[in-house]
Structure 1
Amino acid sequence: MPSIIILILLSALHLAWAVPAQKRAVNPTVVIPKPEATVGGSMGPNNIDTFNRIFFALPPAGPLRLKPPQPIKTSQGTIQATSVAKSYPQFLLSTDEKDVPSSVISKLFNILMFQEIINSGEDCLTLDVRRPSKIKADAKLPVVVWIFGGGFEQGATKRYDGSNFVTNSVELDMPVVFVTMNHRLGGFGFLPGTEILKDGTGVVDHRFALQWVAENIAVSGGDPSKVDFWYHHELRQHCACKFSRRHKRQAIYDTVVKSAGCSGVSDTLACLCELDYTKFLNAANSVPGIMGYNSVAESYLPRPDGTVLTASLEQLVIQGKYASVPFIIGGQEDEGTIFAIYQNNVTTTEHIVDYLQSLYVFDPLRQQITDFVATYRNIQEDGSPFRTGSLYNWYPQYKRLAAILGDLSFTLIRRAFLDYAQKAKPDVPS
């Protein structure tokens, strides 16, 4: 009997030796030229190479806060691009003392411990890259660059992993490389005012990231001459300042300065840069935010600065001052619903007229606004979300206001942009 057991064990051992050992997947590595670095990633599900948290500029903190992004000029050595990238500080709710519940909750969100829990901070000018595994460095795949939406106040690359997108592209036999970027948000990236206007920090972040793609994506198998830019909400937000009335750029800056305790100093911008992180975050979030009563009459938007944006987006399009490349613009039908949930005191037609006149339109005749609102029927079955009957009307006028805000902020902008573009460059498909 013992001899039989020994024979069985020897046979099993022989079989174990006979079966070739499975090769362990080798984590992907690329060597980028600018700034020079060896970047180690990981292989995710479905044979997708993942590279996270690749810095494309120096962290804009301390003396670099509120300044244009600065290039990384020294070699970065070996980078383990495997951890989840930090998000930029989020403008979740306003700390404005006039809105007591919102301000208390917002200050809790802004404390250092909570920001660490949601993994946010100022050292986040980073890119994430996804590509099919085992592609050759000279594959020259098309590149999709994704810039998230969020009203220039919220959003992060970790919300848009891109792996499934790349997997689908491979299954369709049209593989792509996917890149998404973090950029500064809210008062950190789009603080207005004459003291800071020329810097256009948030928009320059985008350009720095795109420059990184142009200089480095080839070593990841991408083709820098075949880059598609995908924006979520950005068109609407670039144009939205045209409709905002009350939030003048200097008034926003002055509010932030006052909240920060910097009003009495000669160089208010330097004072803001010297604040500790939490204090500046509370000050930056002391103005009305997109997730609040003022809604899409936003405080923080890209505005013409004479350097990066030489004019408003609509004027640049009208003048034909944009790249002559085909583009597609779409929209979500019920986008206005999320931006109308905070105005529960708007319960009559007169209230809607008051609301629009106070926040959204430049010096119109009241009768013009009244006539405009009258084009939206005052019945529960209408309004956004559309085709839902009497459902989801969270307060009187909610669905009506949601339809109006959706049209003003998305449908109108999209249609106007397409109309301008067709006239400016009729030979460019759009």
Structure 2
Amino acid sequence: MVGIQNATTEPNECIQAGDGTSATNPFESRSLSKRATASEDCLFLNVHVPSNISSNASLPVIVWIHGGGYAAGSASDEAQDFVKETGFQVISVNPQYRLGLFGFLPGHEVKEGGALNAGLLDQQFALQWVQDHIASFGGDPTRVTIWGESAGAGSVLQHVVAHGGNTQPPLFRAAMMSSLFLPFQYEFNDTIPETLYSEVVDQSNCTDAVDRLACLRATDVSVLTAANTNLSDANFFGTFTFVPVIDGDFSIERPIATLNKTQLNGEVLLAVTNAFEGNLFVNQTMFNGTNITLTDYVTQLFSRLNAEQIQHTVDLYSNVSDLPDVVLQANAIMGENIFICPTYFSLQAFGNKSWKGEFAIPPATHGEDLSYYFGTSPTARTFNSTAFFSAFSDSFFNTALFLNASQKIDNSTITPPWATWSEGHTEMLFNQTEGLPSEPVVEAIVTDDGLLGRCEWWRTLAPINAQ
């Protein structure tokens, strides 16, 4: 579509899928329905500008990348709230990107005849668009911050390590990650991605085609959507089927490998994790009245670990005093491997230019922090404290405006001085007191050494787990 369009309604969202619901990992043996508003014609972005912006303005820009496991989500997140919450000192942009098999179909045939990681390339194109055009809206292309939650934060990491951490010309100066999501990221032609591609081909009736990729392109979108949904639902509980792969171009190696080299796009990092990231991605009743053990769970989730590595993992988490039962241990394994430890690896890579926060407002599970970013979502919060909301949300705006989480946009917030994470592994805890009325707790804490030790175990396994 060309020409002037009326930006009076939200765009069609990209075709959606979901996470796995299977009790066992399908990759052991094979070594959301389409919504009314979903469409292949979905590559739009929203630009939110202060109503009182001057003609010669050159404001910082926050690009919000939505989450959803690379399978769901849209530009409907209230990113316009960032403009108001900063006192009309920023412009916000939130792009859409292709999801599920439409954005992350792997395999050598896609490499040879198409584009791997198309969803990430959509995001990159949006960032390039910001560089080329945001000045027309009063934005400063040299002061761009990228921010996302869950797979949105995972996307931020993908751009931090893109092209080996050397994207030229630079597309942003600051990175902000809320609940960084780093699933297993295989080589595009690894056994698992190739099997996944073949399953898409089979479910699309393209198995006998001379050119299977051309057949997929000619297949009705409803058939592809069904395959997208079926394969996503069939995956191991709490995991996602279509995710980024190492493509040799945009993603040239495992993200943790690039982080270990401290080769990075971006100047500073603010990273926040929730206290209980893994709970939503573990079946909380799977151990009830069954013979399933933690060893069984680890074996299914990490299909490429050997018996010795599995046993060490089980022993490591079985001996944590704060994890007295098998459900809590499974929650911690999922949360630390996929979300929390990759966050610390990122903080280490940015050195003295990184800040760490922990969101602990009960229940502090994955996604609970979202309503504390958007000013129009107070009814979704379990803790309605203006002082807390300002302190927490302003942390991100401080970083976007000043490249420093401790330099305040509003000096009245209750956040104390905030050291970088490299200074004694200092974090900022965002919590509340117990009882009624509850009061906000915003204070500096030190990262648990036991947690960091477990993270080092996951770092050693990263080449095997493809992270």
Shared fold per TM-score greater than 0.5: yes
1:342 and 1:242 mapped to 2: Cα distance? Answer: 28
* Displacement of 1:330: 1.8
Letter in structure 1 aligned against 2:119 = G
TM-aligned CA distance change 1:315 to 1:371, over 3 Å: closer
Indicate the residue corresponding to 1:209 in structure 2. 126
> 2:59 touches 2:139 (CA, 8 Å); kept in 1?
yes
Contact 1:193 1:253 in 2 (8 A): yes
CA displacement 1:285-315 (0-9 Å, x = unmatched): 33245x963423x321211111221222222
Query: 1:41 aligns to what?
Result: none
Unpaired runs of at least 5, structure 2:
26-31, 158-179, 355-403, 405-419, 422-467
Query: Where does residue 336 of structure 2 map in the other structure?
Result: 407
The residue that corresponds to 2:81 in the other structure is 164
Report the alpha carbon displacement of residue 398 of structure 1 after superposing the two structures with TM: 3.3
Change (3 A) 1:259 1:122: same
Supply the distance in 1 between the matched residues of 2:267 and 2:74 (Cα, whole angstroms).
27
How far 1:197 sits from its partner (Å)?
3.1
Moved more, 305-314 or 335-344: 335-344
CA contact (8 A) 2:201 2:207 kept: yes
Tell me the distance in 2 between the aligned counterparts of 1:247 and 1:382: 38
Determine if contact 2:21/2:237 at 8 Å carries over to the other structure. Answer: no
Q: Secondary structure of 2:16's match?
A: coil
Give the structure 2 partner of residue 306 of structure 1: 248
Determine if the alignment matches structure 1 residue 333 to structure 2 residue 297: no
| C-alpha RMSD of matched pairs (Å) | 3.4
Q: CA deviation at 1:419?
A: 2.8
In the TM superposition, residue 400 of structure 1 has moved relative to its aligned partner by: 2.8
Q: State whether structure 2 residue 62 is matched by structure 1 residue 144.
A: yes
Query: What is the CA–CA distance in structure 2 between the aligned matches of 1:421 and 1:314, rounded to whole Å?
Result: 13
Look up the SS of the partner of 1:322 in the other structure.
Answer: coil
Match in the other structure for 2:110? 196
Matched, 1:369 2:322: no
Unaligned runs of 5+ in 1: 1-57, 59-75, 100-105, 384-388, 390-395
Amino acid at match of 1:417: S
Amino acid at match of 2:332: A
Find 2:229's aligned residue among 281, 285, 298. 285
**Secondary structure class of the residue paired with 2:293:** helix
Tell me how far 1:321 sits from its aligned partner.
3.5
Cα shift at 1:166: 1.4
Letter in 2 for 1:400: Q
Instruction: Report how far residue 382 of structure 1 moved.
Output: 4.8
> Quick one: which of 230, 245, 265 aligns to 2:147?
230
The alignment partner of 1:306 has SS state of coil
Deviation at 1:93, TM superposition (A): 5.7
Deviations 1:64-85 (A, max 9, x none): xxxxxxxxxxxx3321011111
Residue 341 to residue 378, structure 1, CA distance change in 2 (3 Å): farther
CA deviations over 1:167-196 (Å, ceiling 9, x no partner): 1111xxx61101001000010000111111
Does the C-alpha gap of structure 1 residues 376 and 95 become closer, same or farther in structure 2, counting only changes over 3 Å? closer
Q: Is the 8 A contact 1:90 1:153 kept in 2?
A: yes
Matched position secondary structure for 2:208: coil
Whole-angstrom distance in 1 between the partners of 2:143 and 2:338: 31
The alpha-carbon distance between structure 1 residues 277 and 253, as it changes in their structure 2 partners (threshold 3 A), is same
Write the distance in 1 (CA, Å) between the matches of 2:215 and 2:186.
30
Query: How many residue pairs align between the two structures?
Result: 318
1:248 aligned to 2:192? yes
CA distance in 1, matches of 2:349, 2:197: 32
Residue 277 of structure 1 aligns with an amino acid whose one-letter code is: V
Aligned counterpart in structure 1 of residue 53 of structure 2, from 102, 123, 135: 135
| TM superposition score normalised by structure 1 | 0.66
Which of the two has higher C-alpha Rg?
A: 1
| Shift in CA distance, 242/257, structure 1 to aligned 2, threshold 3 Å | closer
- Residue 282 of structure 1 deviates from its aligned partner by 0.9
Change (3 A) 1:318 1:424: farther
Of residues 77, 96, 114, the one that matches 2:3 is 77
Shift of 1:350: 5.5
What SS does the aligned partner of 1:335 have? Answer: coil
**Post-superposition offset of 1:154:** 1.1
Q: Which secondary structure does the structure 1 equivalent of 2:40 belong to?
A: coil
Q: Find the aligned partners of 1:95 and 1:357 in 2 and give their Cα distance.
A: 17
Preserved CA contact (<8 Å) 1:237 1:301: no
- Name whichever of 406-415 and 345-354 sits farther off: 345-354
Encode CA deviations 1:295-343: one digit per residue, 9 max, x unaligned: 23x3212111112212222222333432251112221111211111377
